[in-house]
């Protein structure tokens, strides 16, 4: 039916679009706050966005609400957009322009109107696709490929027509073959066509005031109409590369013009985040960000080389950008797990930024929920930062997600995946929550105006924008504040949402108006000017948490043994004043504090008096009174003179009590008909029983469900100083009526395992589920297997089933090899970029550059690892750990950081550069000998046989089959070393794999395995095969005379060869002078007709590049060889006696002949190339004498060699033979075949030249561009 006749449409309740849910502001009081106070809309505040970069051309990011520039600075701190412009070139001025030669070798025209008092021009190049994110590269390549190949159809059609005409003529065989070769070459080009993108020439100069850069985006060399760009923050200039990509860029120039940073976005994430904070739409205010009056500083910390992954280089440099632009707030919607909360290079700099420089730092809590202790660094694990969880309201559900909220009665809720606290060191982790979804601007290159994104990445900028409103109001009202007074206000004024747990929402939903009023009301309070440093230790002197030996931020009792007794806790509270605070203020400070806890299971003192030096007190936590589940409370310090302020400081306390055992050993738990609804969580905790090594989790519907339900299943346990990812599962699953969902997770006894099953927040409807968990265990001793390889060896392990009767079925194999490499070079030097690489406090950052080299004998899946550094980012003490892999042409083929990925590398030699940064050079010096471990996947696994006894392993039979093992039964297994070493594995390499033992009926892979390793031993030395010389039976004089004659002959030969060898060592002018000497003339008189001397003359002519003389000398050498006799010998099947007598001499003669012919061929080739002056077409125009000489000699050469075995030498010569005959199709076909395995600069250039000779200028330009990309002049810098 037509829409206007549809009763449902007529009865619709919504008459206007519910715009308030597009950019959520109502929920945090932001909309009301700005409506009542229009000038408190973020004006006067500057917000740094640490992300993938912001597109200044995106809608809503042009101006603030009061007409100022929205994005006031754009920087790329990762270095991914850097290029070296340290090559100075001379400019030549003519009537129209200034002419220079760019780094690409192309002539560039510059405008005469550009001011350049020094007259110095600096040049560099940057490949287009080195800058762009992969999604944009894919789009551009797809469009370019379609258009380019479409243009080839006519060329192929014309060649096919020519071929048809030639096929009708019997006398055109060579021409026919050439056209066929051209068609084949064109087909090969089309099949391998991969758009290379453009290569931009970049020019820098100083105009007397600022450094400026120009980018040749059109790649036509004409820059006369281009506008030179200064650093973005100076003039706010940005340009677009082309109408095809719509990628906007700006520049920053460093190191006195020697480095240019071309700044682009590494993704759409950062622009979206910036839009949430501060987008301004004058014509549609409903689309405004939270603080449309705020200004933005875009700091790109997402490295394009790593697919927008953050690096410590980018993050540490960001601190300088924040301070240089005097930012009030920072938003960072990035994060990763950490093993040590509050520790690491970047978190420590963040704390300094907050405590010393009074910058408010807001960051995302993470999207790793719903299990507890899944908050990420830095936002929720660095206590000075405000970590934000993700909340969703009914208005958001309606406007952003088109959900049927009213009919289903959905209430406000936390996104299911929003990370939960507490941190491993006891801090609550999530400070506050904010709306975690929005429809906001994205970069122009995406070809969309805006889009919906969700995550704590969106919640953080919503909260940051809200705090921008608060600061805007405080500044205009003249009210003083600092990060600590703002945080205290945020926590004490937030709205607690009743149906959301504390671990998820923190202290509640941000309330902008309430926060402002709190600060305004308490501005004169003593604590408004400082922060409270709170730390706790248990009675044993250890932190009552899972973060290691350091002092904790709270109490976190989780493990079974921890909750069986009362825990005494010592707390320390110290008022931390700013370092500039007057000493008299410190001396006069005193507070009378009431100590409170609402939990009956926590006992605290009533009060304490605290001076500027701080105060300690103790309290007790009694978990024995608690029931199973999670419990949270706080010990709070209250101002005795004004309790309405809320807590001045808080000590979080989290206690986890495992579920009551359902069987004697606690091995099996079942929960039937567990009710679920949208967003409903069911959390269980289990004491992992003794002997358990893995747990099996099963989920299935308890009753019929009407539609598919989306669930999340998360399970984890914690181990000291390890991130939560080390021991977790976190999966989305679609559940249907017949679904049975199985998961396995490795566990360790005496820890608490959490299991969370949650119906996804947007999955409508209710249902019931049956949930079960069973623990299983296999104990293996020892816990690893070490074997030799390629030699006899056996290793025994004892396998014990610790929980159930299990079927033991051992199997083992090696799957990878680990090769260790020491650095070839190690250099520590200070970084001279004062803008980016000098930290606050004039701490100069230095870099350690390590260089490694390795070679692959075939194609491998390869991972470059640095075990000492890997798997640590926010918890790393170093300022960077970025590496790049280069091929033999110096092209970057892969990059990696803390979590390296495997990449497929072809056969060849590779160089690895590792870049580590710190301001402590001694720390860097300690890493100079750091080992790189190259992990390569074996072409196929190497099996390790398992046997039931030592004797059977020696006899290699029988092999271990299966055995049913009862609980406690010890089953010995003997693993036998493989007989042979896998191909490509070298002595010293370590083979790595795993051994598995139990065969379960659980429906998925069990989690029981131990590592198997083998160090490849040195190769065995071969026994000498030299036979003893036979002793002559005759003792007559004739025999003695023969021996003397042989000795004399051998002596003369040795003298001749030694004399000639002396001349072989000479080079250049020294060789020329020596040839005029008396000694050389004497040598010529004595040995002039001898082959050894003739070969010397040949080698001298080659060294001096006297190619006509090479041909002459080669002919003389060839005349000394009886080629007819040689051919006769190799053309028949010689007898055994002839072989003994002649094989060595004839083989040597043949080798001399082929080497001499090859020298002669190359001499003709060099003369032909010289006459062509580098023009491929000119090769065919060489003299007939030279071409005939080449062809005849080449023909002779092929008669004496095995063409299959010598294909590597023959291919370029065959190709050259085609070129001198003008057979460009055949030559190009040959080049393309070789390029697939060896893409050298010479071959790429030859491909371009031959394409040009064929008139295929588009393909010539294609090859030329790839030459610049694949064969850079220098290694890419960090």
Give the catalytic positions in this structure: 51, 269, 457
Asked if omega into 378 is within 30° of 0 (cis), the reply is yes
Give the residue from 556, 562, 484, 563 showing the smallest Cα distance to 527: 484
Rounded-to-integer distance, Cα 275 and Cα 331, Å: 12
Alpha carbon distance 441, 281 (integer Å): 11
The candidate with the shortest Cα–Cα distance to 829, out of 843, 846, 845, 842, is: 846
DSSP 740: -
**Could you check whether the bond before residue 471 is cis, i.e. omega within 30 degrees of 0?**
no
Cα gap 1044→1048, rounded to integer Å: 6
Which of 102, 40, 340, 188 shows the shortest CA–CA distance to 1250? 188
**Cα–Cα distances in angstroms (integers) from residue 266 to residues 258, 902, 1164, in the given order:** 24, 22, 53
Rounded Cα distance between 1184 and 553, Å, is 89
CA-to-CA distance for 697 and 671, rounded, in angstroms? Answer: 12
Read off the tokens for 760. Answer: 């996804």
* Structure tokens that stand for 59 in this block: 């809608």
The token pair at 1226 is 């055949």
Q: Which candidate, 714, 55, 6, 28, places its Cα nearest to that of 366?
A: 714
Tell me the pairing of strands 825-830 and 846-856.
Answer: antiparallel
Rg (CA), the chain: 38
Which two structure tokens, joined as six digits, stand for 310?
A: 């953050």
If you ran DSSP here, which 8-state letter would residue 229 be given?
B
Which run of H or E residues covers position 174? helix 173-192
| C-alpha torsion sign, points 295, 464, 449, 444 | positive
Which residues, in sequence order, are CB contacts of 1221 under 8 Å at separation 6+? 1180, 1187
The full DSSP string for 77-132 is -SSTTEEE--EEE--EE-SSEEEEE-TTS-EEEEETTS--TT--EEEEEEEGGGTS
Crossing angle for the helix pair 1068-1075 and 1078-1087, to the nearest 10 degrees: 70
Neighbours of 388 (CB within 10 A): 33
CB neighbours (10 Å) of residue 458?
A: 26
- Sheet containing 752-759: order of strands: 681-687, 752-759, 709-716, 728-735
Q: What angle do CA 1042, 1046, 1049 make, to 5 degrees?
A: 140
Omega before residue 6 within 30° of 0, cis: no
Tokens of 1103: 């060294």
Q: Tokens at residue 876, please?
A: 């790393």
CA distance 1127 to 632: 95
Three-state DSSP state, 24: coil
Q: Which tokens sit at 987?
A: 């002595």
Tokens standing for 538?
A: 């248990």
Classify residue 220 by burial, with Cβ atoms within 10 Å: 0-12, 13-18, 19+. exposed
By C-alpha distance, which of 917, 914, 833, 836 is closest to 299?
836
Beta bridge partners of 459: none
* β-bridge pairing 1009-1015 and 785-787: parallel
């Amino acid at each position: 039916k037509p829409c206007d006749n549809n009763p449902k449409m007529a009865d619709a309740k919504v008459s206007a679009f519910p715009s308030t849910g597009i950019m959520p502001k109502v929920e945090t009081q932001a909309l009301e706050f700005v409506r009542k106070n229009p000038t408190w809309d973020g004006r006067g505040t500057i917000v740094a966005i640490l992300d993938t970069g912001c597109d200044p051309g995106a809608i809503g990011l042009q101006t603030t609400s009061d007409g100022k520039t929205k994005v006031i600075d754009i920087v790329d701190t990762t270095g991914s957009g850097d290029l070296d412009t340290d090559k100075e070139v001379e400019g030549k001025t003519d009537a129209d322009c200034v002419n220079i030669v760019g780094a690409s070798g192309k002539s560039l025209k510059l405008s005469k109107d550009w001011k350049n008092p020094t007259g110095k021009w600096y040049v560099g190049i940057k490949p287009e696709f080195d800058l762009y994110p992969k999604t944009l590269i894919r789009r551009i390549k797809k469009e370019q490929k379609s258009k380019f190949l479409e243009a080839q159809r006519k060329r192929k059609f014309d060649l096919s027509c020519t071929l048809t005409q030639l096929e009708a003529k019997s006398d055109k065989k060579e021409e026919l073959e050439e056209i066929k070769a051209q068609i084949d070459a064109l087909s090969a080009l089309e099949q391998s066509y991969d758009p290379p993108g453009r290569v931009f020439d970049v020019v820098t100069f100083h105009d007397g005031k600022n450094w400026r850069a120009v980018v040749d985006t059109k790649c036509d060399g004409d820059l006369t109409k281009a506008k030179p760009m200064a650093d973005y923050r100076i003039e706010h200039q940005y340009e677009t590369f082309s109408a095809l990509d719509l990628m906007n860029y700006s520049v920053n120039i460093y190191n006195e013009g020697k480095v240019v940073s071309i700044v682009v976005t590494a993704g759409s994430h950062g622009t979206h985040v910036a839009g949430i904070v501060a987008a301004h739409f004058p014509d549609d205010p409903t689309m405004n960000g939270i603080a449309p009056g705020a200004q933005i500083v875009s700091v790109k910390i997402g490295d394009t080389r790593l697919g927008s992954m953050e690096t410590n280089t980018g993050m540490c440099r960001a601190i300088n950008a924040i301070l240089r632009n005097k930012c009030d707030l920072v938003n960072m919607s990035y994060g990763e797990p950490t093993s040590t909360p509050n520790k690491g290079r970047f978190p420590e700099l963040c704390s300094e930024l907050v405590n010393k420089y009074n910058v408010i730092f807001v960051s995302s809590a993470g999207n790793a929920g719903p299990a507890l202790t899944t908050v990420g660094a830095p936002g929720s694990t660095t206590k000075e930062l405000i970590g934000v969880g993700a909340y969703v309201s009914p208005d958001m559900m309606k406007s952003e997600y088109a959900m049927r909220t009213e009919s289903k009665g959905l209430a406000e809720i936390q996104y299911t995946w929003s990370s939960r606290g507490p941190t491993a060191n006891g801090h609550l982790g999530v400070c506050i929550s904010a709306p975690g979804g929005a429809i906001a601007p994205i970069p122009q290159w995406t070809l969309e105006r805006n889009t919906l994104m969700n995550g704590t990445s969106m919640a953080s900028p919503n909260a940051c924008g809200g705090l921008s409103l608060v600061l805007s109001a405080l500044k205009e009202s003249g009210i003083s504040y600092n990060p600590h007074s703002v945080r205290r206000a945020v926590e004490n004024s937030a709205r607690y949402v009743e149906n959301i747990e504390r671990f998820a929402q923190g202290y509640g939903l941000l309330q902008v108006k309430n926060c402002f009023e709190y600060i305004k009301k308490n501005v004169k309070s003593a604590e408004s000017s400082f922060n409270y440093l709170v730390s706790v230790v248990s009675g044993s002197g250890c932190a009552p948490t899972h973060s290691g030996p350091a002092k904790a931020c709270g109490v976190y009792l989780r493990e079974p043994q921890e909750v069986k007794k009362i825990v005494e806790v010592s707390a320390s509270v110290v008022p931390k004043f700013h370092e500039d605070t007057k000493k008299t203020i410190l001396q006069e400070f005193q507070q009378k504090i009431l100590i409170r806890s609402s939990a009956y299971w926590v006992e605290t003192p009533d009060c304490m008096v605290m001076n500027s030096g701080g105060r300690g007190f103790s309290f007790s936590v009694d978990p024995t009174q608690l029931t199973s589940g999670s419990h949270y409370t706080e010990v709070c310090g209250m101002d005795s003179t004004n309790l309405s302020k809320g807590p001045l400081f808080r000590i979080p306390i989290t206690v986890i009590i495992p579920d009551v055992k359902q069987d004697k050993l606690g091995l099996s738990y079942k929960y039937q008909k567990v009710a679920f609804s949208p967003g409903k969580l069911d959390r269980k905790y289990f004491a992992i029983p003794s002997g358990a090594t893995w747990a099996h989790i099963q989920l299935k519907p308890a009753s019929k469900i009407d539609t598919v339900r989306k669930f999340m299943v998360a399970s984890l346990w914690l181990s000291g100083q390890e991130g939560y990812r080390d021991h977790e599962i976190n999966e989305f699953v679609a559940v249907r009526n017949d679904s049975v969902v199985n998961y396995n997770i490795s566990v360790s006894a005496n820890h608490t395992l959490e299991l969370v099953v949650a119906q996804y927040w947007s999955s409508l409807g209710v249902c019931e589920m049956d949930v079960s968990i069973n623990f299983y265990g296999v104990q293996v001793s020892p816990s690893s297997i070490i074997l030799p390889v390629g030699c006899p060896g056996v290793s025994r392990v004892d396998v014990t089933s610790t929980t159930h009767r299990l079927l033991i079925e051992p199997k083992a194999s090696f799957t990878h090899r680990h090769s260790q490499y020491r650095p070839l070079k190690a250099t520590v030097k200070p970084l001279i970029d004062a803008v980016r690489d000098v930290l606050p406090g004039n701490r100069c950052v230095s870099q350690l550059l390590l260089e490694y080299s390795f070679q692959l004998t075939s194609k491998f899946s390869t991972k470059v690892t640095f075990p000492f550094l890997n798997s640590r980012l926010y918890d790393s003490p170093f300022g960077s750990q970025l590496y790049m892999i280069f091929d033999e042409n110096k092209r970057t083929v892969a990059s990696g950081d803390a979590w390296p990925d495997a990449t497929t590398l072809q056969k060849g030699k590779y160089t690895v550069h590792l870049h580590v940064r710190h301001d402590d050079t001694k720390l860097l010096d300690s890493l100079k000998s750091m080992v790189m471990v190259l992990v390569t996947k074996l072409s196929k696994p190497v099996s390790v046989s398992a046997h039931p006894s030592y004797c059977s392993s020696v006899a290699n039979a029988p092999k271990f089959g299966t055995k049913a093992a009862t609980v406690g039964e010890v089953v010995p297994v003997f693993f036998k070393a493989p007989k042979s070493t896998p191909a490509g594995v070298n002595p010293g390499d370590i083979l790595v794999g795993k051994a598995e033992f139990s065969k379960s009926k659980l429906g998925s892979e069990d989690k029981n395995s131990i590592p198997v390793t083998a160090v490849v031993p040195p190769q065995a030395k071969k026994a000498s095969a030299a036979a003893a010389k036979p002793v002559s039976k005759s003792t007559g004089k004739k025999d003695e005379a023969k021996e003397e004659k042989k000795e004399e002959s051998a002596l003369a030969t040795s003298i001749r060869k030694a004399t000639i060898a002396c001349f072989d060592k000479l080079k250049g002018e020294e060789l020329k002078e020596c040839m005029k000497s008396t000694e050389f003339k004497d040598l010529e008189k004595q040995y002039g007709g001898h082959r050894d001397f003739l070969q010397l003359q040949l080698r001298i002519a080659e060294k001096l590049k006297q190619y006509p003389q090479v041909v002459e000398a080669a002919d003389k050498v060839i005349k000394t060889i009886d080629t007819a006799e040689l051919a006769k010998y190799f053309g028949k099947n010689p007898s055994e006696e002839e072989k003994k007598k002649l094989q060595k001499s004839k083989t040597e003669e043949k080798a001399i002949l082929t080497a001499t012919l090859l020298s002669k061929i190359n001499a003709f080739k060099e003369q032909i190339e010289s006459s062509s002056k580098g023009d491929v077409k000119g090769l065919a125009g060489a003299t007939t004498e030279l071409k005939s000489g080449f062809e005849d000699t080449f023909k002779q050469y092929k008669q004496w060699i095995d063409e299959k075995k010598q294909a590597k030498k023959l291919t370029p010569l065959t190709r050259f033979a085609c070129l001198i005959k003008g057979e460009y199709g055949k030559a190009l076909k040959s080049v393309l075949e070789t390029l697939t395995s060896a893409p050298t600069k010479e071959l790429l250039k030859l491909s371009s030249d031959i394409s040009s000779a064929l008139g295929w200028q588009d393909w010539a330009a294609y090859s030329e561009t790839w030459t610049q990309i694949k064969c850079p002049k220098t290694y890419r810098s960090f």
